[in-house]
Every structure is written in structure tokens, then in C-alpha cells.
Structure 1
Amino acid sequence: MIPTVYEDKDDRGRMRYTLSETEHGQAWGACAEAEGLFGEPQRGTYELFGWVPQAEVSGWVGNRVWLVPDDDPLEPWLLQDAETLGQVLGTDGLVLTGLDDYEGSPEGHRGRVRVHDGRRWLGSCREFTRIMSPEQIPAPIVLRGLAPSDQLRAALAKGTRRALDLEGAALELRDGHGELLTDRLLWTTIRAWRPYSFEADLIDLELDGARFTPVPEYARSIWERWLAGPPAAVNTWAGLDTRCRGAWHDLVRERGCRRSHRDRPAGHAYELDGRYITDEPALYLALGEAVNGPGGYFGGCLAALDDCLRGTFGYAAPATLLWRDAATARDHLSHALTPDGQPYNLFTTVLETLAEGGMDVTLA
């Protein structure tokens, strides 16, 4: 069983988790502890035959790794959170795993494929095959000490298969200040329930986790930090690697897109601390904090940044931005690749997007 997110006694009395039905938003119940949220999602596995490296590839490869068919009308496809298992012993093949995008890879493709991580070409292969990984046994989701609603009590009392099928449900997570941080959709049924060990009116509710994608284990510490409450200072994320910065930004985005923002009056002067912008997640984390303070959101890609510049995300045009230590971002973001592998300058493109949105940027 996966350990609980919080095991501190001080956290037991806080109803951090609310299980709700999605159609009308009514709560099934609330609890302080949950198990089964973290694990290893089912990943796609690919063997790339005839691997010719252009860069060193080991361990974690990137948040977004693109496989680009060579001389083929097919579009590139994406592996998210990609890792390599190394070269296949005695062969010239490389094994990559990752979360397939919603379309997945093309079936039956037998041509050369080039691979890049959005910054550099990693290499190429003459062809690939998708390896069918063994099905993982999904861990159940267990809500400890759940205070059930009357509706849930009635469903448990009835006990039929239909009554125990929650269909579309959402597990809402609140931080230590009671603010909604994020939620996770569940298409699930009730597997079991039993009295809670510490309080007679509460129960432990076990849900089927077969159709739930767990939060990756590497993100556990990020979630624990945010569940304690939003950061009080900027750059709390600065010591994280690119993978964990991406997980940090996922929570920033989910929280930021739920909150209502009061746009500052036009003419406001913003200041961006650019010392730690060594990758793309850091770029958007620093921009978000420049506009909306610690833990603030202001886009996570060029399209989202453009949306934020149009208002309702704490900003009103025109305004000024003093970008300190801009050379760091220029050094790390000037050489980027589009999904199909075309080179572009992300640093310059961001400056152009800001200017088009009415942000007058001064580089320092």
C-alpha cells in the first residue's frame, strides 16, 4: 500500500480531501488522509533499432520528447516525462519509456525516426517498435477517516453494484489554509469500507484505482510542500531540477487557473528575477511570480502566456517589466526546437509575445 501523503498528527484533523460527484458537485464525504494517490503511471515503451546518438541519453530524458518521422507525411508524436532504460544488450537499440500523448504513436511505421527533447537532437533510429509492457496491478485509493454524506451512507447501506458505482467523481485537495489546490478525476466504484480506527462515525473507504492515473512518485515532495500551503517567497522552486520544476508548475497552473485575479491598473511596473531561468519551466515560474507574487501563475507555454496578457490574470496593458539577469535565460533558451524539429529562439519569442501584449521589457 502506498503511504499516505501526510502522516503528521497535526494534519489528521484537517479535511484536506473531498470526494465529490461531478454532475452536480455534491460531496460524498471528506477526510484528512488518502492513500494511493502516488505511484508509477502506465508508460509506453519503445525500442529504437539502429540508434545513432547525437547527444548523451541516460536516465530521465525530458518533459517532452518528440519522435519525428523522417521524409514522411506523419506528424511528430510525443512522449511525456520520458526516460531511457539504456541500450539493449547485444544490439544497437535504445529503449525509451514515457507517457504517450492522446494520439499515441502511428501504427506500422517502418521508417527512420529522429528524436529531440525540445532543445537538441538526441539521435535517430532506422525504425522502432512499441513493446507491450505487462499490465500493472492498480493500487486502490483509500480515503482514511472519511466523514460520509447522507447520500454516501444510503449507497453503502443499499450495497448493490449500481449503488456502489460512483461513475464520475472528483477528489479535491485543499492546502493547509483550506484553499483548493487541485483535483483529480476518478471513474471508480467502491470496493470496500470499514469503520475508522480512531473515530466511530468515520469510515475508511476503498475505491477501485483501475482507471486512475497516479501522480508520479518523483512529484510527491512537491505536492507535500504545496499541501502545507503556497510558498511565501519567490524562487522556492529554484533548487529543483527541470523535472521537478515541471511538477511544481503543474500545481501552479492548476491553482492559478482556478483563482480569480484582480488585474493591476495599467502602467504597473513589474520586476522579474531571472537568476534561475535555466530551463522552460523556470521561465514561466519566474514570469508568474513577477506578475502575481510567490507561487503565481502567468502562462506555461507561448499560447497560455498570450492568453494571460489579454487580462484576468493579474495584468492590464500597458505595463513595464524589468528583467534582471536576463543573460541567464538568453544563454539557456535561445536554441529551441519546434515539435517537428525546426530551430527557433524561445527567449526572443517570449520577448516578442510580451511586447505584443503591451509589456515593455527592459533587460538588465
Structure 2
Amino acid sequence: MHEDGNHRLLTRHTAAGPEHGPAWGVCAEVDGLFGEPRRATYELFGWAPQAEVRGWIGSRVWLVPEDETLDPWLVEDAECPGRPAADSLVLTGLDDHLGPPEGHRGRVRVHDGQRWLGSCREFTRVLPADRPAPPLVLRGLLPGDLLRAAPMKGTRKALDLEQAALEIRDDHGDPFTDLPLRTRIIAWYPSAYGADLVDLELDGTDFTPVPVHARPVLERWLAGPPDAPGAWAGLDTRRREVWLDVVRDRSCRRVRPDLPAGRTYELDGRTYELDGRHVTDEAGLHLALGEAVNGPGGYFGGCLDALVDCLRGTFGHTAPATLVWREAATAREHLSRRLAWDGRPRDLFAQVLDVLARGGVRVVLA
């Protein structure tokens, strides 16, 4: 295990080949694993603010054409770098498509799912400047036979890692996650980690780094899953969503048998108990519900559709059951007045209660 004095670094990485194939090798550390993904940039002209917009805005920000001739556009993990100018706003975010139609000209309203942020006369997508991607370096790599033979072949194809993945294990050696790795070998040189080890430098052009803001959450989980509920409670919304991604990913990796209907849980022999003190955002709602049903670090849906799926079985619960929701007023205050993707009012608190009721869960608000 390798530590830098301040952070426990990701260890026991495996560069795996195609599915069910042999591993390329195992390394101690990965340089370039964390970074900032390429972000789309929007400039909003004639900006009329309705709320202060600065720094990180939200995980899902919608741009809604006022004339309703086109559907809204989504900007994920949206940020506003610097202060807004007198009559314009720069917005950056993750964008998996080409952006809005170039021909669209008209007023657009902007919201983050909780409140209207403002409106603009028109907006455009600014193409980012080309910049070289930093390499991905697998340090202290013990190469497998296939990887050891690749440079010997002397062909360009032999240096390509097609359909590979970077598998990460936690401090206990248990599988944690894996990342797609389509790249090619740039360089191969002796490693300071040991005489039989190498540092393998890979082209990072097609690699999407893990966002820097996610690192503290991942390092917490790499030390092992939480042994008490509410370990996420002190996180801000952005990092709560990272925590929710982790518990969702872990749930997909293992099959958990459903407990009998009317599970015994602390209260009256037939009840789940949800600690609602920290349900101040949507991620907190699903984290608290997951822990109520499946214990610390548990998962029981990450959105309404996923909650419906969980209520059908194979996620640790079988209906019917009772859920006692402690401090429900906190969720009602923060989740009742929200906005749907198209800007229409949305009562998320009432929607969750309806989904639970339809799924055979009787909710007692306390």
C-alpha cells in the first residue's frame, strides 16, 4: 500500500484486457486518474438574474426556451467561473451532445431543479480550445504476459489497449469499481517501485478522468464501507451525489436477497426507520432511504424510476412493510417546491410518498 502523508492513494489497480480475458497487469498507483473532464462552455447574452449564480451551480441545470418550440437542453455538473458580466453569463458543464441548434434565437430561462436562476436573450455554445490530454501513467506495474510481449511485437496494433478497463480494489482487496480504458502505450520504463516493475505511460486522449471533487469520497470508501449510517450527512450536494453513485455501483455488483415482508428493524417488529434529519436534497433523500432499508452504505434507488424498480424486489425489501420517516418536516421543506425539467412545479416529497404507497410501503411521518 502506498500513502503520501495526506491522502491514501488508490492502490491495487488492475489493467484488464477484454472481458473474461487475462489481465494486462497490476500496479500500485495511477497518475492522471483524477482530473477535470472536458467541459462545454455556454455564453448567455442579455442575462437577467433571478438568483445569485457563482461557482458550482448544480448537477443538472436546464435551459428552457420561453417559446416552447424546442425541448430544454441539459447541462450537467454546471459551473459559473468568475463573476457574471454586466449583460452576459458564462456557464460550463458536461455535455454529451453537440449542444443547442445553431439556428435557435430566442429568450431562454435557466433553472437548477430548485429555483429559476434567470433568463437570457439568447445563448451559444463556445467550442473549447484544443489542448493536449495529460498521459495516464501506471506506476509500479507488474505486467502480465500479454502486456510484456506487446512491445516485443514491434507493431502499432500491439500497443493499442482495446476494450480494456482499469479495475480498482479497496484496501481490503475487494472489487470497488472499474473504468473504461481505450488507449495506447506511449512509453515503458523501469519503475522506482521495484526492479521487476515498470511505469507504463498511456495516451490519455480518450480517457475520462475521475473529477477531482470526487476524490475525498472515493478515498473514504476505499478504506472500507461505512459501519454506521449517515457518514454522508456532512457532505455538500455535489459530493453526496458521488456517494450515491458509489452505493449504486456497489449494489449493481452484488446480488442481495430480499428480506421477508415486514422486516424487523428496531421499532415494532415490522418497520423500517428513516433518519430524515439530513434529507435536504434529492441525493440525501435516496441515501437515507437506502440506509433505512439496507443499512449503512445501502442502496434503495437513486431516482424515482429506480425506486420503483427496487420496490419490485431483489434490492433487499419485499412488500408489504411500514416506513417510519423521522424528521419528515426537513424533507417536506426542501423537496416540496422544486422544478421539473421543463420548469413546471414539482413536489418531489409527495411523489416519493406516492411511489412508496404504490409499492406496498405504508409511510408514517414523524
Given the two structures, how large is their TM-score scaled by the length of structure 2? 0.93
AA in 1 matched with 2:90: V
Report deviation, 1:133. 2.0
Unaligned runs of 5+ in 1: none
Classify 1:106/1:300 alpha carbon distance in 2 versus 1 (closer, same or farther; 3 Å).
farther
Tell me the CA shift for residue 101 of structure 1. 4.0
The residue that corresponds to 1:145 in the other structure is: 140
Corresponding residue number in structure 2 for 1:68: 64
The offset of 1:140, in angstroms, is 1.2
Query: Match for residue 180 of structure 1?
Result: 175
Report if the CA contact (8 A) 2:312-2:318 is conserved: yes
Judge conservation of contact 1:77–1:101 (CA < 8 Å) in 2. no
Residue in structure 2 matched with residue 92 of structure 1 by the alignment? 87
Q: Which residue of 2 aligns with 1:19?
A: 15
Shift of 1:253: 1.3
Confirm whether residue 287 of structure 1 aligns to residue 284 of structure 2: no
SS of 2:289's equivalent? Answer: helix
Q: How does 1:255-270 map to 2 (within 5 A)?
A: 255-268=250-263, 269-270=271-272
Q: Does 1:105 align with 2:100?
A: yes
Given that residues 54 and 83 in structure 2 are in contact (C-alpha distance below 8 angstroms), is that contact kept between their aligned partners in structure 1? no
The question of whether the paired residues in 1 share the 8 Å contact of 2:44 and 2:122 is answered with: yes
Q: Secondary structure at the match of 2:225?
A: coil
1:226 is aligned to 221
**Aligned-residue offset at 1:7:** 3.1
Equivalent in the alignment of 1:81: 77
Q: Which residue of 2 aligns with 1:136?
A: 131
- CA distance in 2: counterparts of 1:104 and 1:294, whole angstroms: 39
Q: CA 1:347 to 1:146, structure 2 compared with 1: closer, same or farther past 3 Å?
A: same
Contact 1:279 1:333 in 2 (8 A): yes
For the structure 1 residues 20 and 330, does the alpha-carbon distance in structure 2 shift closer, same or farther, using more than 3 Å as the test?
A: same
Number of the residue aligned with 2:28: 32
Task: Give 1:349's aligned residue.
Answer: 351
- Give the match for residue 192 of structure 2: 197
Q: Secondary structure at the match of 2:118?
A: strand
Q: What is the one-letter code of the residue matched to 1:39?
A: G
Deviation at 1:314, TM superposition (A): 0.8
Q: Which of 346, 361, 364 lines up with 1:362 in the alignment?
A: 364
Q: Secondary structure at the match of 1:115?
A: strand
Q: Number of matched residues?
A: 359
Query: Equivalent residue of 2:78, what SS?
Result: strand
C-alpha distance in 2 between matches for 1:100 and 1:32: 32
Secondary structure class of the residue paired with 1:118:
coil
CA RMSD of aligned residues (A): 2.0
Q: Which residue of 2 aligns with 1:209?
A: 204
Residue aligning to 1:308: 310
Do the aligned partners of residues 313 and 85 (structure 1) sit closer, same or farther apart at CA in structure 2, a change above 3 Å counting? same
- Secondary structure at the aligned position of 1:202 is classed as strand
Query: How far did 1:338 drift?
Result: 1.0
- Hey, what's the Cα distance between the residues in 1 that align with 2:240 and 2:15? 28
Deviation at 1:137, TM superposition (A): 2.3
Superposed displacement of residue 70, structure 1: 1.6
| Structure 2 residue matching 1:201: 3-state secondary structure | strand
- Work out the CA distance in 2 between the residues paired with 1:5 and 1:123: 47
* Residue 326 of structure 1: how far off its partner (Å): 0.7
**3-state SS, counterpart of residue 163 of structure 1:** helix
Instruction: Name the % identity.
Output: 65
CA shift in 2, pair 1:208/1:75, >3 Å: same
Q: Provide the C-alpha distance between the structure 2 equivalents of 1:257 and 1:8, rounded to a whole number of angstroms.
A: 33
Shift of 1:284: 0.8
Instruction: Specify the code of the residue in structure 2 equivalent to 1:176.
Output: D
The Cα shift of 1:88 comes to: 5.3
Report the equivalent of 1:333.
335
Task: Specify every segment of 5 or more residues in structure 2 that has no aligned partner in the other structure, as ranges.
Answer: 264-270
Residue in 1 that maps onto 2:267: none
Matched AA of 2:306: A
CA distance in 2, matches of 1:95, 1:353: 38
The equivalent position to 2:45 in structure 1, one of 45, 49, 56, is 49
Q: Distance in 2 between matches of 1:251 and 1:180?
A: 12
Q: In 1, distance between residues paired with 2:289 and 2:171?
A: 25
CA deviation vs aligned residue, 1:204-230 (integer Å, no higher than 9, x gap): 111111011111111111111111111
| Amino acid across the alignment from 1:68 | V
Question: How far 1:81 moved relative to its partner?
Answer: 0.8
- Change in Cα spacing, 1:249 to 1:168, as seen in structure 2 (3 Å) is same
Shift of residue 32, structure 1, vs aligned partner: 2.0
Give 1:208's aligned amino acid. Answer: D
The one-letter code of the counterpart of 1:67 is L
Distance 1:25 1:263 in 2: 33
2:74 aligned partner, one-letter code = L
The answer (yes or no) to whether the contact 1:6–1:224 under 8 Å persists in 2 is no
4, 7, 13: which one aligns with 1:7: 4
TM-score by length of 1: 0.93
Aligned-residue offset at 1:106:
2.8
Distance (Å, rounded) in 1 between the aligned partners of 2:127 and 2:333: 40
Which of 125, 137, 153 aligns to 1:158? It is 153
Distance 2:101 2:2 in 1: 38
Does the Cα contact within 8 Å between 1:79 and 1:101 map onto a contact in 2?
no
